[in-house]
Structure 1
Amino acid sequence: METTEKTAFEAVSVEPFYTGGKTSLADDGYTLATSFGEDVVVTNIKTGEEICRIEGDSEILTTLEISPDAQYLVTCSRSLTMRTYRIPSGELVRSARAHDAPVIVMAIDSSSSLVATGGAEGTVKVWDLERGFVTHNLKGHGGVVSALKFFGEQGGSVWRLASGADDCKIRVWDLVSRKCLKVLDSHNSVIRGLSWSSDGGILVSGGRDKIVNVWDANKFKLVRTIPVGESIETAGILNGEGLRIYTGGEMGVVKIWNGQTSALIAAQVQPAVHNKENERVGVVDILYKTDKLVSVLSDQTFVELDDDLKEVRRIVGFHDQIIDMTYVGEDESKLAVVTNAPDIRIQTVGGIETNVLTGHRDNVIAVDRSFDGTWLASSGKDHEARIWHVPTLTCFAVCTGHAGSVGGVALPRLPLEGRPPQFLITGSQDLTIKKWNIAKDGTAKAEYTRKAHEKDINALDVSPNDRLFATASQDRTAKVWDMNSGEAVGVLRGHKRGVWSIKFNPYEKQIVTGSGDKTVKVWSLNDFSCLRTFEGHTNSVLRTVWTSLGSQIVSSGGDGLIKVWTYASGECAVTLDNHEDKVWSLAVRGSDDGAQMVSGDGEGTITVWKDISDEEKAAKKAAAELQVEQEQQLANYVRSKDWENAILLALTLNQPYKLFCLFRDVLADRQDEDSIMGLTKVDNVIAGLNVEQLELLIKRVRDWNTNARSSVVAQRVMNCILVNHSVDKLSQVPKISTMTDALIPYSERHFNRVDEMYDESYLLDYALNEMDFLDTPQVV
């Protein structure tokens, strides 16, 4: 097979956009604003495209809200400043001090006219969104305002605002009369959700006291109390017939209740997802727009639900630290992503949609895939390894028996031909390796157990023919083992630090390792000697993989770099830099021999790398051919003394010496005595240059002016530029002041040299006169 070495890649990053905190969804159902640390990211969750990213004011965001028409974004932070931005440009419209304490909650009315803010000091303010002034200053709460909800539209006969606080009271404000109509008191904990019915006759409130209250908003009386059995973080009323109330809280599922009978109508069926602390993931908010329910979970994911509360899709806002990754699926269109959590995310390549595999009881450490990508193996800190069927997202087998964290796992490399994997290799912190026989019913039994290393086992790999497997350890060695007997057949010694990665070459009897000593080593499987050592990383090498039919190696390191090494030359073909943190995970798509690969770092960023080596070679070839054609054309212009086109083409080709020769020859020929350059056409060419061309020419003049031999040409050209171009146009040239500053000292030096030569010419005149005097006959 023909080997095409990879020398260029195009990067597409899937960056995190939500790290917890407030979120807001516009009425269109897809323009989502999310907190990202101190910043705000506005994303189109339909396409996954980032609309804009707005930098914060170096203080933690306390709340944000996007207007229903998706035209404005309002943010508040601990700096007590409220900022209004225009979407999608991200332009700052205004900035104002909002309250005397941080703003905790915010709401915008349905007409995108008013914005209400609730402060930690208990005050509620209403602002004109368009013009930015305060319309209402509402006081009365005895604690932090925790919930706000508008009813009605500006200019309507009924225009109300409900506010809840941690004083456990709800206040209903009439914005027309600017009075508090009623104080509703029935909760005994913080109120987190408020919602009006479409006609304004019903007000629903939910709190952390595990109840939802239904209020008659006309008589201001409690109609019904619904015990929901969990601490509520959000509650609201669904559109349609009857009073249906949605809730979400600590249990992590969305529920719908009958507001007239208190009966549970439906509950979301969801796996028990856990975060990195192994705590159950809860619902922190529910975004309800255009009859679409989107629950926001505490693990920074978004779940879109249909009318029956079935999951339509799940969107990842933040991966946290990405520990391992591999392509899965028959078409390798998905990634299995390990994020230092008990659950595995199956995510679309280059997208934000994901599914979740749940089952591990502690953080997952490593994953591996079968040849066809339909089976996935995982291992974790719960001392277990699991085999998953990817198309059905189900667990097929569980391997239990290690006494420590299982740091490496490997599946067979030969095609499975539609059957489940028949064995699995695992390596553990208990210093042992195990081969598991997997029965057709998913039963797993250890065939043998061997003590393998003196320290933790970091990685495993199985040979292409399934006859060998290899282990990499923190004890600075790697070992090769016989699959059938489980006996070591070779030890790879030479690394000075722990070995983090190991991979068999699919096409040659070679194996590659990456180590904490910052090197990549290739070893022979014939005599287990080191064939090559690649040096270039400035931190530990964390992952290594083969590509280009086994002729190249890709490595990623703690320095955030990815390097592609060519084995034959021993050199780095290309260094890829798109990460700011350690690149822990690296995977190459096997179906096209690495034409696409992915990398993940400690900040949760996934980068998809597309091989564009052929395109780059074609572009370089086309550029070289064009260069030859243009150089020939330039020669033709010079031969025919077409100075105008010759000068313009020399500028375009960026050939300083040829351009200098053109000006020098024109000055030497000097056909027009009235011309600065010696030819009126050349003067006109310089006079007609645009700003970009002027920048190039002044750079050349600056360089020529540093040498006495070329300074005459430089001075003439600069004179022509100054005569023919206005100060306004020259001021548009980038870095013009820097370039002129470089011109002045050399020009002064040239002037002083000429001045000295002029003075010395008087001595020559005197000497000549004296010589004439000596030649004249003297009369005695």
Structure 2
Amino acid sequence: MTEPIKEIAAKRSVEAVYTGGTVRWSANGQKLFSTCTNVVKVIDLADNTASYTIGDPEDELRITCTAVDKNRNRLLVAYNNQIIREYSIPLDPSTTKPELARTWKTIHTAPILVMEFNEEGHLLATGSADHIVKVWNLTEQQCTHTLKGPSVVSAILFGKHEKLVVGYIEGQLNLYNIMRGAPKKLVNTWKSHNSHITALLQVPDSRVVVALSRDQTMSIHETETQETLRVLPLYESIEGGAIGHNGNLFTVGEEGVVKEFVIETAKLVRKKRIASSNLDHLAYDVVSNRFLAISAEQNLIILDFENLKIARQIVGFHDEIYSCCLLGKDESHMAVASNTSEIRLYNTKTLDCQLIRGHTESVLSVVSPTWDTSLLASCSKDNSIIFWRLVTSPENDSCSTLVPVAAATGHANTVTALAISNTGRAPFLASVSTDCTIKLWGLGVSTKLKEVKIDAEKDFVEQLPKLTCSSTMVAHGKDVNCVDISESDALIATGGMDKLVKLWQVDTHKMQLGIAGTLSGHRRGVGDVKFAKNSHKLASCSGDMTIKIWNISEKSCLQTISGHSCAVFRVIFARNDSQLISADSAGIIKIWTIKTADCECSIDAHTDKIWSLSKNHNESEFVTAGTDGRIVVWKDVTEEKQKAEDNKRREAIEQDQTLTNLLSQKRYSEALVFALTLAKPFCAFKVINALMAEETPEELGSAIRRLDTRQIEILLQFTVKWNTNSRTSSVAQRVLYEIVHIVDPEELVSMPGAYGYIESFLPYTQRHMDRLDRAKQDVSLFDFVWRQMRSSV
């Protein structure tokens, strides 16, 4: 692509879909209803593009919990002002979106934390931080019970025979009888736990209830006899649980492991680690026979019931994204480095995500070489660099993962950025760090390394083959922020907080670095450096809000581009080095033409800092990401916009020609309909002028009689505008006169905005009348003076 970029538009984006709270299954097991601050995200597990949002993103209220009835045709959403909104879920959400059915204000005095339906779906229990549980009859739309407890409500379960079990954060369990006319509401209190009750589960086809707690135990209770059957140890702080179709108990907790127990004996049947952090929630869907687990890092994990294998992983929210990199055949995957120790590996077609564990602290940069797109290098705050290889499963082409092949250690502090050589003849890696150094690593061996089996109990990096650092140089006086390698691999450029850009020679035979020069001129720290692909130029951007173009040979500044209103963090060359794309700390992307230093377009892309800006191999798409946790894929729409403008211009010419033909043929009625259909006020004005110029005064009235109600309404809108100008007011008054005499008054008043038209007409009409009265007086005075002058002569 060689045409200059004039405009780009968002093609698709990876947004936050879960920010904490509850997640519910849909009726068919193909969708999830997840809370995302002030809206509910409907995640389509079969087709990501079919996902949508329930609620207004601009709403200032925050969602505290949600509930879905057994038939999955109603979604209830509770907000932090104790309001509940009920949405009706259609049978086919792909064609119709959920609609707001009703809203009601609860009488709670604190946020609602738990909501549950009963088996039939006509009763709803709401538990709040005000220690109260309220039971609502949704059919009669009234509150039937108010149940005061000892502490904040943490779990609710409708039992058999109109019983309600409530768990509290202090570990107490209350059993209530909610049958109408029952003499006593609170029938029993169980004190089997001494910590937070996290889940209450009904054993199928029985009156037995299982309570799970953070005190590492579970208790089994009979709601009819009110006795405690067993209290069994689970040896883990339990955060969530579910009962599978086989009748066994599945739990998740602080170990990040899904465990299956026999309920009666708490015998461990199987377990599987699925996360490196805590798991906060577990839900089972009998239709799809899958589990939903939620990690403490707000990731949604779909598990197959039979083997507990991870079927899908969905990142709920990217906290802060530092780097994105396209890799794989035809750029099939995208690696994302964010404020976490895991690399997020996305399939660019399906947006399925995998969490790749290896680093122990936040990953800051990911890069892939052009000569082998299956390789990926990552660096982290843990001072290490890890090489990965993208491996595709032979059984499933769409299932790929990253396997570690090598590691590099040696930096004394955070490794901030990486760059890999552009050719594979003598491949190498350059790394920079906050320890102010640049290191050179030979990659001749790492490209041949195979997958290494990792023992989860041992240090990850220590188990990998090590790369050897061939050269180390003190690069800057302060933290080094960025590094880039020239197209020929002969030079490396680095930028640091000392406001300097440094150039380094690379001897690829000895794999040694040498000083090649210093570029000074920035007044703040350098955020990014990029070599031009086909010219001896280098671009750098800085916190001083400027972009500088340097001549590498002469080590001089060719151009300083200003236009950003805050620090510029990223810059890349585009369109055969004729353009630049830059991104700043306010989330603005700008496209520049280097020759003229003109800004072609400025886009408000993100709500906060942009840390990552990259392009695909043919520069048809660009990827940005930053502090707001969004990943946006942009496409060049210059050609599309040009075609649209050309088509619009051609259409306008054709329409003008049609109108001219109709006027020349004196087909005024057709011309008026044509002008009103296209909503062109000037064309309509020309037609009415032509009608008023006709010898027969009834022509205008005849043309208006042929208009339908919608066309008359449009004509009224035009008339209101014409009446504001003294030059066109006469036409407006004549048209209004004809409409009032032709259209039935009731029909005229029933038009939307009819009163508004009349109100707009009156003040300007009054002005025109006053102006005519003054003109009449002036004419009379002139006539009187003229007569007096003649008589005196």
Q: Judging changes above 3 Å, is the alpha-carbon distance between structure 1 residues 38 and 271 closer, same or farther for their aligned structure 2 residues?
A: closer
- How many angstroms apart in 1 are the aligned matches of 2:754 and 2:472? 69
Corresponding residue number in structure 2 for 1:23: 23
Alignment of 1:129 onto 2:138: yes
Among 81, 95, 103, the residue aligned to 1:79: 81
Q: Is the 8 A contact 2:135 2:144 kept in 1?
A: yes
Note if contact 2:476-2:496 (Cα within 8 Å) is conserved in structure 1: yes
Conservation of the 8 A alpha-carbon contact between 2:437 and 2:473: yes
Aligned partners of 1:618, 1:107: CA distance in 2, in Å? 54
- In 1, the alpha carbon distance for the partners of 2:748 and 2:140 equals 39
Q: Which of 686, 695, 719 in structure 2 is aligned with 1:671?
A: 695
| Residue 465 (structure 2) pairs with residue 457 (structure 1) | no
Q: Which residue of 1 aligns with 2:455?
A: none
Q: CA deviation at 1:575?
A: 2.3
What's the TM-score once normalised by structure 1's chain length?
0.88
Q: Give 1:315 shift.
A: 0.6
CA distance in 2, matches of 1:120, 1:653: 58
Question: Residue 715 of structure 1 corresponds to which residue in structure 2?
Answer: 733
Q: 1:161 and 1:287, CA in 2 relative to 1: closer, same or farther beyond 3 A?
A: same
Shift in Å at residue 409 of structure 1? 0.9
Supply the distance in 1 between the matched residues of 2:678 and 2:483 (Cα, whole angstroms): 53
Q: Which moved more, 1:748-757 or 1:622-631?
A: 748-757
2:495·2:502 contact (CA, 8 Å) conserved in 1? yes
Q: Distance in 2 between matches of 1:503 and 1:685?
A: 67
Other-structure match for 1:67:
69
User: Does the aligned pair in 2 maintain the 1:14–1:351 contact within 8 Å?
Assistant: no
Pairing partner for 1:245 from 246, 249, 253? 249
- The yes-or-no answer on 1:283 pairing with 2:292 is no
Other-structure match for 1:476: 499
**Partner deviation per Cα, 1:189-244 (whole Å, 9 max, x = no partner):** 2211111121124322210111123345565544444422221111232112xx41
1:691–1:503 Cα change, 3 Å: farther
Partners of 1:56 and 1:5 lie apart in 2 by 33
Report the Cα offset of residue 772 of structure 1: 6.4
Superposed CA offset, 1:401-449 (max 9, x none): 1122111111222258xxxx94211111111100012434442111111
User: Which position in structure 1 is the counterpart of 2:100?
Assistant: 91
Q: Secondary structure at the match of 2:422?
A: coil
1:150 aligned residue: 158
* Contact 1:542–1:557 (Cα < 8 Å) also in 2: yes
Find the aligned partners of 2:211 and 2:778 in 1 and give their Cα distance.
99
Distance 1:731 1:454 in 2: 77
Q: Report the equivalent of 1:319.
A: 318
Deviation at 1:601, TM superposition (A): 2.9
The 8 Å contact of residues 686 and 720 in structure 1, kept in 2 or not, is answered as: no
Between the aligned partners of 1:26 and 1:93, the Cα distance in structure 2 is: 20
2:407 aligned with 1:432, yes or no?
no
Structure 1 contact 471–480 (Cα < 8 Å) conserved: yes
Contact 2:9 2:635 in 1 (8 A): yes
Distance change in 2, residues 1:754/1:583 (3 Å)? same
1:756 and 1:119, CA in 2 relative to 1: closer, same or farther beyond 3 A?
A: closer
The answer to whether structure 1 residue 405 and structure 2 residue 429 are counterparts is no
What is the rounded CA distance, in whole Å, between the counterparts of 1:188 and 1:415 in structure 2? 62
Question: Are the aligned partners of 2:320 and 2:338 in contact in 1 as well (CA < 8 Å)?
Answer: yes
Q: Could you tell me whether the CA contact under 8 Å between 2:85 and 2:100 is conserved in 1?
A: no
Contact 1:524 1:531 in 2 (8 A): yes
Q: Deviations over 1:567-591 (max 9, x none)?
A: 344322222234222222222122x
1:36–1:754 distance in 2 versus 1, CA, 3 Å: same
Matched-pair contact (CA < 8 Å) for 2:413–2:434:
yes
Q: Deviations over 1:307-349 (max 9, x none)?
A: 2211111011111122221212222232211221222111233
Aligned ranges for residues 108-257 of structure 1 at < 5 Å? 108-139=117-148, 141-151=149-159, 158-176=161-179, 178=182, 179-180=185-186, 182-215=188-221, 219-240=225-246, 243-257=247-261
The letter for the 2-side match of 1:119 is S
The aligned counterpart of 2:701 is: 680
Q: Deviations over 1:689-732 (max 9, x none)?
A: 53773365236414xx43x4443334323444455555875785
Is 206-215 or 658-667 further displaced after alignment?
658-667
Q: Which moved more, 1:503-512 or 1:48-57?
A: 48-57
SS at match of 1:118: strand
SS of aligned partner of 1:359: coil
Q: Does 1:641 align with 2:666?
A: yes
The alignment partner of 2:468 has SS state of strand
Q: Does 1:582 align with 2:609?
A: yes
486 and 104 in structure 1: CA distance in 2 versus 1, 3 angstrom threshold:
same
CA distance in 1, matches of 2:9, 2:135: 52
1:36 is matched with 36
Give distance in 2, aligned partners of 1:620 and 1:692: 29
Aligned 8 A contact 2:257 2:275 in 1: no
Aligned to 1:537: 564
Q: Deviations over 1:581-632 (max 9, x none)?
A: 2222222122xx1222222232212222223333222222222222222222
Conserved in 2, the CA contact under 8 Å of 1:316 and 1:352? no
- The residue that corresponds to 1:444 in the other structure is 467
Within 5 A, what are the aligned runs for 1:626-775?
626-651=651-676, 657-667=682-692, 669-673=693-697, 675=698, 679-684=700-705, 690=711, 693-694=714-715, 697-698=718-719, 700-702=721-723, 705-706=724-725, 708-724=726-742, 726=745, 737=756, 746-767=764-785, 769-770=787-788, 773=791
- For 1:446, the aligned partner's letter is C
What CA distance in whole angstroms lies between the structure 2 residues aligned with 1:313 and 1:762?
A: 89
* Matching residue of 1:277: none
Q: Distance in 1 between matches of 2:482 and 2:100?
A: 48
Q: Which amino acid aligns with 2:262?
A: N
Matched residue SS, 1:444: coil
Task: Identify if the C-alpha distance between structure 1 residues 452 and 167 changes in structure 2 by more than 3 Å, giving closer, same or farther.
Answer: closer
Find the residue that maps to 2:548 and give its secondary structure: strand
Q: How many residues align?
A: 745
What secondary structure does 2:239 align onto? strand
For 1:55 and 1:310, the matched residues in 2 are separated by 35
453-462 or 259-268, larger mean C-alpha shift: 259-268
Consecutive unaligned residues in structure 1, runs of 5 or more = 153-157, 273-280, 776-780
CA RMSD of aligned residues (A): 3.0
- Residue matched to 2:298: 300
Which letter does structure 1 place at the counterpart of 2:334? L
Q: How far did 1:524 drift?
A: 2.7
In the alignment, residue 656 of structure 2 is paired with which amino acid? E
CA contact (8 A) 2:722 2:728 kept: no
- In the alignment, the residues of structure 2 paired with residue 103 and residue 437 of structure 1 have an alpha-carbon distance, to the nearest angstrom, of 58
Q: Is there any run of 5+ residues in structure 2 with no aligned partner, and where? A: 90-96, 392-400, 450-464
Q: Distance in 2 between matches of 1:118 and 1:746?
A: 61
CA distance in 1 between counterparts of 2:712 and 2:354 reads 53
